[in-house]
Chain A
């Protein structure tokens, strides 16, 4: 952020009159506000998109009444919830009951501070960025346990405890996988990890070595579990626990839990994009766009460059978000003992094995072999993707289903 703010200040004469710390503070405030609004809008739209996708998958329509194609549905829900009664059960622990949503809300927003949306648009580029993310996400667990305990409801207690056990368990494979990426990039700064990759797919971390490719899966499953997403949404297993830790919550307090769940959806996509899919790296695209628009001044050139990178980052992360939404409506929920088995008996040993072999690989294998392997793996990845689309086309052709790709119908 610092270089970008410096550039704006050097261009604007009004700002040069003000003290430097004051302009910094103002800009930091503005950018934090932008992120806040972005997350709020994303959570609302994701809630809408999820219901529409669910509708498509289950052969029904989904919300389509409020606004054009129902796009304002989440807004209407939000306004409705403001007008609901604020209920706190008599036997609940009042202080903890009121405090829990704050932990979840703040923990969620603090993680977004470290997400780099482009080469310069990151609010805090910390040297220990990835560590910070792991730490801040743990705040959410505290909020969940707190709400489960404070409600003084058996469903809430079970849901909160299950959720804590789940999030805490899957933290181990996630941390081990991030360790692998840190090892390969040689830095813990999120921008550094992105910078160590490139714009082309064969420069992405996921295709660098077979071990990094394997490591993607523990990370992805772990972040699904930490976000309480299907197939790991044990804490809210409706058929068993009513609604889990938020059973007793109503009105706006409930919306905060809901809100955190959907902003976490973006965090899952963003984290995977940063670690494995090259983040905002856009290669020669920004220069090309700048040339196309004929932009001369350095400030507007920088803005266009950042915008292009932002689009690349958004595209990648939103693709992953879409996959996560689809997974929710495709896979059945796992049982709680299966959940723990998957984590401790499969993901953790796989992550450990990966770490050892990766360490040896980095010492033993010379650089040119790594390049060849990266190219081969990219080719395999492209082939797999091509095969997937071929299968989809084959299904559509041979099952006589008509492809009516009209998301707005």
Chain B
């Protein structure tokens, strides 16, 4: 608990300062809103429609790829922490073999995604 307390303290300090500064700037700044000042910026022209539109599905694809790979990488961390000690105890080959099985599947997945074109950002490639 003692090691995690400073994180809470820092959370409060950072949040508090951000809030205080924003309040201060709100109090000090002028308040003269006009219609065009409060409209969204679209290079000086009147905004056309709203930004709540559909956007490319590629972003979802990247997010899914990230979730898959990041969870797999996180899964490997406990293995990595124990790896050095296991080698000292003479279990190095066993550790490699165990992770090797997982790893082959991971790399096959990467290869499959590559061939499927999930990693191509532009359409022509």
Contact = CB atoms under 8 A, between A and B. Distances in A.
Nearest to A105: B18
Given A175-B73, A187-B81, A123 B121 contact: no
A336 B40 CA distance: 25
A253 B59 CA distance: 26
B53 to A, nearest CB: 8
B63 interface: yes
- What's the interface size class on B, roughly? 35 or more
A356 B121 contact: no
B110 A363 contact: no
Given A124-B7, A337-B121, A90 B13 contact: no
Interface in B27-45: 28-33, 37-43
Given A109-B14, A113-B10, A87 B110 contact: no
B46 interface: no
Contacts of B32: 85
A109 B10 contact: yes
Interface string A127-162: 100010000000000000000000111111110010
B73 A176 contact: yes
A242 B11 CA distance: 32
B101 interface: no
Contacts of A184: 84
Interface string A336-352: 11011100110011001
Given A183-B84, A340-B62, A131 B77 contact: yes
Secondary structure call for the A interface: helix
Contacts of B119: 340-341, 344-345
Contact of B83 (A85, A186, A345, A348): A186
A387 interface: no
B5 interface: yes
Interface string B73-97: 1101100111111010000110110
A344 B125 CA distance: 14
Given A25-B5, A106-B15, A179-B80, 16 more contacts: A82-B21, A87-B38, A91-B50, A113-B7, A131-B77, A155-B41, A157-B51, A164-B59, A168-B62, A171-B66, A171-B70, A179-B76, A248-B40, A337-B121, A340-B119, A352-B103
A35 interface: yes
A186 B73 contact: no
B70 A175 contact: yes
B28 A101 contact: no
Contacts of A154: 42, 51, 53
Secondary structure call for the B interface: helix
B105 interface: no
The 3 A-B pairs with the shortest beta carbon distances in the complex, nearest first, are A186-B84, A363-B92, A337-B121
B114 interface: yes
14 contacts: A32-B6, A81-B25, A86-B29, A109-B11, A109-B13, A127-B3, A152-B40, A153-B40, A157-B51, A175-B70, A252-B21, A340-B121, A363-B92, A363-B96
B25 to A, nearest CB: 4
Contacts, number: 208
Interface of B: 2-7, 9-11, 13-15, 17-19, 21-22, 24-26, 28-33, 37-43, 47, 50-53, 55, 58-59, 62-63, 65-66, 69-70, 73-74, 76-77, 80-85, 87, 92-93, 95-96, 99, 103, 106-107, 110, 114, 119-122, 125
Contacts of A89: 38-40
B80 A183 contact: yes
A152 B50 contact: yes
A36 interface: yes
B96 A360 contact: yes
A151 B51 contact: yes
B58 to A, nearest CB: 8
Nearest to B43: A242
A86 B3 contact: no
A102 B107 contact: no
A145 B31 CA distance: 28
A29 B21 CA distance: 19
A83 B106 CA distance: 54
Nearest to B19: A102
Contacts of B41: 153, 155, 242, 247-248
Contacts of A298: none
A282 B33 CA distance: 57
Contacts of A352: 103, 106-107, 110
Contacts of A336: 121
